[in-house]
A = this chain, B = another copy of it.
Amino acid sequence: MENNITITLSETELKILDAAKKVFVEKGFDGASMQDIANEAGINKALLYYYFRKKEFLFKAIFKQALHSFIPNLLQVIQSNETVRVKLKMFVDNYIDMLLLNPHLPVFILHELSRRPENLVSAIKELGVNPTLVLQNMEKGVVEAGGTAYPAKHLLVNMLAMCIFPIAAKPILTMLLFSGNDEEYQEFVSERKQLVYEFLLKALNL
């Protein structure tokens, strides 16, 4: 199973990966052209093919990275020795902060997975994440802290939803709730770090 090797990437290869990440995440696989990526990287288009041979291969390299950020390292937070409250706060804070830095990430991942779910099977395996344990810990942790039992899968989805959706739906929310004012939107999302946390506490009776 461990057929990975570590290689040192050249300067150019790094430039390409950076550029490809930016372009793919913003435009999606179908909307991005190899010319776009070459321009962004400041190199010749043929070089892309020299290093990656096909658009698809370059894309897969990017997609894997992106998926790793998107599926947060729940294990680390949930399996830590903190109280449930602290864990929840840490998770929401860190995840929303990460998403604010990568605002296009959610829509990119959701769109590409919806177009080509096949990619997922292999990618998930490489992640090595098994959520079952995490879920059991969550549910037990809540009850032991005196909270109300709530199905762990639904709780996890609720948490992710409340963090991810406002980032994914930025354009429509900015328009609908803030008349297009971007600063108000940013402020709103920052507020959510505290408000989502409180919402979860109340819902779980913690």
Residues of chain A at the chain B interface (Cβ within 8 Å): 27-28, 30-31, 71, 104, 107, 109-111, 113-115, 117, 120-121, 124, 129, 131, 148, 150-151, 153-154, 156-158, 160-162, 164-166, 168-173, 175-177, 180, 188, 191-192, 195-196, 199-200, 202-205
Say whether B171 contacts A117, CB under 8 Å. Answer: yes
Note all chain B residues with C-beta closer than 8 A to A196: 154, 158
The answer to whether B111 and A111 have CB atoms under 8 Å apart is yes
Report Cα–Cα, A104/B117, bound state, in Å. 13
Instruction: Please state if A114 and B171 are interface contacts (CB–CB under 8 Å).
Output: yes
Q: Of B157, B192, B205, which is within 8 A of A173 by CB?
A: B157
Choose from B110, B150, B173 the contact partner of A199 (Cβ within 8 Å). Answer: B150
Q: Cβ of B172 and Cβ of A120 under 8 Å apart?
A: yes
Q: Across chains A and B, which 10 residue pairs bring their CB atoms closest together, nearest first?
A: A161-B165, A30-B30, A203-B203, A30-B31, A161-B161, A117-B171, A111-B111, A113-B171, A202-B203, A107-B114
| Residues of chain B lying within 8 A (CB to CB) of residue A121 | 175, 180
Instruction: Write out the residue numbers on chain B whose beta carbons fall within 8 Å of the beta carbon of A199.
Output: 150, 154, 158, 203
Q: Which B residue's beta carbon lies closest to that of A103? A: B114
